[in-house]
Amino acid sequence: MEDPEGKKILVIQTHGVETPTRTYSPLYYAIAAAAMEMEVMVWFTMNGTNQLKKGEAEKVQLDKTSDVTLKTMLKMAMENDVKLRVCQQSLELWQMKKEDLIEGVEILGATSIIDLSLNSDHVMYF
């Protein structure tokens, strides 16, 4: 099997807090890839953007048997050096401003996502 270390993965997340079951796996995969020493970025766009609004992710309980929330996963991703980026245009869709975002998320424009896609070894869409 090919060694994944150093490869670049871009995860595109288009699902948000209204569909909790679609929020967990993309972050889990991102964290797994980071644990395998890959360079990982999650790009939040469309509805995916709303999970980055302060105070929202902690309301999404992912597993009824534990206290793991979507916030736990976002935090774990950042702790594992997964870069979290959000689409500028999507922020406007949700009437969100920079100060509404949880800490550690950077805003990028649409052209950046094209560059990032071309420069990744693999892109995963959700």
Partner 1 sequence: MAHEKINGCVVVKDLYYAVEDNTWVKVNDDGTVTLGMTDIAQNLAGPILHARAKSAGTERKKGKPIATVESGKWVGPVKSPLSGQITEVNEKLASDAQLINRSPYKDGWVVKMKPEILDEEIKALVTGDAAVEAYKAKIAKDNIKACAQIEGADTYE
60-68, 94-102, 104-112, 116-124 -> range binding partner 1 (CB under 8 A):
60-68
**Range in contact with partner 1 (rule: CB under 8 A) among 25-33, 43-51, 53-61, 102-110:** 25-33
Q: Is 35 in the site for partner 1 (CB under 8 A)?
A: yes
Which CB contacts under 8 angstroms, 24+ apart, belong to 32-36? 33/4, 33/9, 33/82, 34/77, 34/80, 34/81, 34/82, 35/80, 36/4, 36/5
Which position among 69, 80, 88, 120 is part of the footprint of partner 1 (CB under 8 A)?
Answer: 80
Q: Which of 17, 68, 105, 107 binds partner 1 (CB under 8 A)?
A: 68
Per CB under 8 A, which region of 12-20, 35-43, 49-57, 108-116 contacts partner 1?
A: 35-43
Distance CA 116, CA 98 (A): 21
Q: Residue 94 interacts with partner 1 (CB under 8 A)?
A: no
CB 19 within 8 A of CB 50: no
Check residue 66 for interaction with partner 1 (CB under 8 A).
yes
What's the half-sphere exposure (Cβ side, CA atoms, 13 Å) at 121? 12
Q: Note the residues at the interface with partner 1 (CB under 8 A).
A: 3, 28, 31-32, 35-37, 63, 66, 68, 80
